[in-house]
C-alpha cells in the first residue's frame, strides 16, 4: 500500500528575518523542526529562501541576467539555510536529507520541465524526510532562473500525488478586507486579487502572496486542494497536515 504523502512548505519569511542578510530566526526554526519531527511520516519539506537567496538573486539580477558568480553565491546562500534547517530537524529527532533543486531540476522559461522524482519516492518509502528549498536552477531558455519553493510544491504535489499540501506563511491565510478568506477558488479570486500583494521585507524575487495563490489555483484545477496557513504560530503545522481548515483552502470550483 502506498504511504500517505504530505507536502509542507515553510516560507522564508517565517524562517528568517527578510530585512537582514542571512538572519535565521533560530527559535522559530527549532520549534518548526520539533513540530515537523513529530508529524506523521510520508512528508516532503520545502522551505523558502528569505534573506538567504532573495538578496543575492536581487543583487545579481538573476531573473534577468545569466551570471555564473551570482548563481554560485545564491545557491550557496540557500544551501546555508537548508543546512540550518536540516541540523535543527536532526536535533528534533527527524531523519532529514537535503535535496538541492539546482542538482535535480531543469526549467524551460521559468517552469519546471524535468525533476528527478525517483530518489524522493525512495526516501519517503524508507522514512526519510527530503528537505528541498527555493533555488537558482538551470533553464533551457534563460540559462538559469530562480525556482520558487511554491512552484516546487505544486510540481511535487502532482508528480507524487500528494494527499495534503500545506503552505506555512507569516499570515493567517489569504487576507481580504482585514479578514482571512476561508476558501479561494477561480470564482472569488478576481475579487480578492487586488488586495494580494508581494511579501514583506527585502524584495521578493519570486512574487509574494499573489504568485502563491495563482500557483495553487492551477494545482486546484488539477484536483489537488491546498492550505495557506500561519506557520509563525505554534501548533498550526500539525493541524494543517491533519487536514484541519486552519487558514485559507485553495480549491477547485464546485
Ligand atoms: O523563497 C526563492 O525561493 P522562495 C529562491 O521559495 C531564491 O520563493 C534563490 C531566491
Q: Which atom of ligand 1 is nearest to the CA of 206?
A: 8
Q: Which atom of ligand 1 is nearest to the CA of 46?
A: 6
Site to probe by mutation for ligand 1, drawn from 16, 48, 75 as the one with most ligand atoms within 8 Å of Cβ, is 48
Report pLDDT for 208: 82
* Alpha-carbon torsion (9, 13, 220, 107), positive or negative: negative
Count of helices and strands (H, E) across the chain? 10, 14
Report pLDDT for 96: 98
The pocket around ligand 1, CB under 6 angstroms, is made up of 12, 48-49, 53-54, 57, 74, 78, 134-136, 146, 148-150, 205-206
How far apart (Å, rounded) are the C-alpha atoms in residues 130 and 42?
10
Site to probe by mutation for ligand 1, drawn from 74, 133, 207 as the one with most ligand atoms within 8 Å of Cβ, is 133
Span 24-54, pLDDT tens digits: 999 999 999 999 999 877 999 999 999 999 8
Q: Which atom of ligand 1 is nearest to the CA of 12?
A: 1
Report pLDDT for 1: 65
How far apart (Å, rounded) are the C-alpha atoms in residues 241 and 114?
27
Span 166-200, pLDDT tens digits: 999 999 999 999 999 999 999 999 999 988 875 55
How far apart (Å, rounded) are the C-alpha atoms in residues 122 and 104?
15
**Which residue positions in the chain have pLDDT lower than 50?**
201-203
Contact 128, 95 (CB under 8 A): yes
Amino acid at each position: 500500500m502506498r504511504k500517505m504523502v504530505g507536502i509542507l512548505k515553510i516560507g522564508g519569511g517565517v524562517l528568517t528575518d527578510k530585512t537582514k542578510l542571512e538572519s535565521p530566526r533560530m527559535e522559530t526554526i527549532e520549534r518548526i523542526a520539533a513540530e515537523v519531527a513529530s508529524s506523521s511520516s510520508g512528508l516532503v519539506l520545502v522551505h523558502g529562501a528569505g534573506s538567504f537567496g532573495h538578496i543575492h538573486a536581487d543583487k545579481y539580477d538573476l531573473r534577468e541576467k545569466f551570471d555564473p558568480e551570482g548563481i554560485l553565491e545564491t545557491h550557496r546562500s540557500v544551501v546555508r539555510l537548508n543546512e540550518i534547517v536540516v541540523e535543527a530537524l536532526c536535533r528534533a529527532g527527524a531523519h532529514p536529507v537535503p535535496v538541492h533543486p539546482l542538482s535535480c531540476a531543469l526549467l524551460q522559461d521559468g517552469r519546471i520541465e524535468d525533476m528527478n522524482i525517483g530518489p524522493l519516492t525512495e526516501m519517503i518509502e524508507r522514512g526519510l524526510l527530503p528537505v528541498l528549498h527555493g533555488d537558482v536552477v538551470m533553464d533551457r531558455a534563460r540559462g538559469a532562473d530562480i525556482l520558487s519553493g511554491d512552484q516546487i510544491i505544486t510540481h511535487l504535489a502532482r508528480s507524487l500525488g500528494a494527499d495534503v499540501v500545506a503552505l506555512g506563511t507569516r499570515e493567517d491565510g489569504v487576507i481580504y478586507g482585514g479578514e482571512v478568506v476561508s476558501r479561494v477558488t477561480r470564482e472569488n479570486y478576481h475579487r480578492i486579487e487586488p488586495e494580494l500583494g508581494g511579501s514583506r521585507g527585502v524584495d521578493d524575487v519570486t512574487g509574494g502572496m499573489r504568485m502563491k495563490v495563482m500557483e495553487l489555483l492551477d494545482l486546484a484545477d488539477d484536483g489537488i486542494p491546498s492550505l495557506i496557513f500561519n506557520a509563525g504560530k505554534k501548533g498550526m503545522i500539525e493541524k494543517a497536515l491533519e487536514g484541519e481548515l486552519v487558514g485559507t483552502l485553495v480549491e477547485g470550483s464546485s
